[in-house]
Chain A
C-alpha cells in the first residue's frame, strides 16, 4: 500500500524495557521525522533524518535512538523505557523543506 505506515499501532511495555517503533514510507521521501504528542503540548520533534544514514536531534531527543539504513524506513528505539515516554508517537515524511509533511497513523505507547 502506498503511503506512510507505523507499527505497532498500540504497545504496552514495562519500565526499563527496550521497545522499537517502526515507520515505513513508500514515496521515497528524503526527509523523515518522529514526533510525540502529549496533552497540553503541540507535537514535539524527537529526531529527524534528511536522507539515509543522516539523522539529527529535534527538540526532545533524550532517551531515544534512531537509525536510517534505508530511505523508506526510520525506526525509533526507546532503549530503556520510562513512564514519561508514555505518549502517542507520529512518524512523518516529506520530499524537502517547505513541502507538506505527511503523517502516519500514530503509535500509542504506554509504559507501566
Chain B
C-alpha cells in the first residue's frame, strides 16, 4: 500500500529561525513529490513539485530536497516568518496512477515571536 509519513507531527520555532520537515514515502513506482502549505481554514497550496531527476527545488524561502534512492524528502524553511505558521503536507504521485495522489498527514508548524 502506498504510504507517506511525515515528521515531526508538530513543531514550534522562533521567528527568524530555520527548520526542516521530513517526509518518507513508499509510493511505487514513483512519479513526483509535492509539498503543499495549508493555512488554517484554507485549502492546500502547492509549494514545489519534484520529479525523479530533481533533487532540489526552491520557492523563495522554501527549499525541498528529494532522495529517490532512500525515498526521502525534506522541506527546509529559511528565516521563518509568522506567516509560515501552517500545516505542511508531503504528497506523492505514482507513475500510472493518473492523477491519484497519496497525502501525508502533515507537519503543523507554529512560528512564534
Main SS of chain A's interface residues? Answer: loop
Q: Which of B4, B41, B93 contacts A42 (CB 8 A)?
A: B4
Give the size range of A's interface with the partner.
20 to 34
Chain A CB within 10 A, most for which of B99, B102, B103, B106: B99
Count residues of B near A (Cβ-Cβ below 8 Å): 23
* Chain B residues near A90 (CB-CB < 8 A): 43-44
Complex-state Cα separation, A98 to B101, whole angstroms? 10
Using Cβ atoms and an 8 Å threshold, which residues of chain B touch A58?
Answer: 100
Q: Which A92-110 residues have a C-beta within 8 angstroms of B?
A: 92, 94, 96-98, 100-106
Residue of B at shortest CB range from A49?
A: B99
Total contacts A-B at CB 8 Å: 53
Question: Which of B42, B89, B91, B98 lies in contact with A97, CB distance below 8 A?
Answer: B98
Of all chain A residues, the one with the shortest Cβ separation from B90 is: A42
In the complex formed, the residue of B with least CB distance to A58 is: B100
Do B93 and A103 touch across chains, with their CB atoms under 8 A apart?
no
Q: Which residues of B approach A to under 8 Å, CB–CB?
A: 4, 31-32, 34, 41-46, 49, 89, 91, 93, 98-106
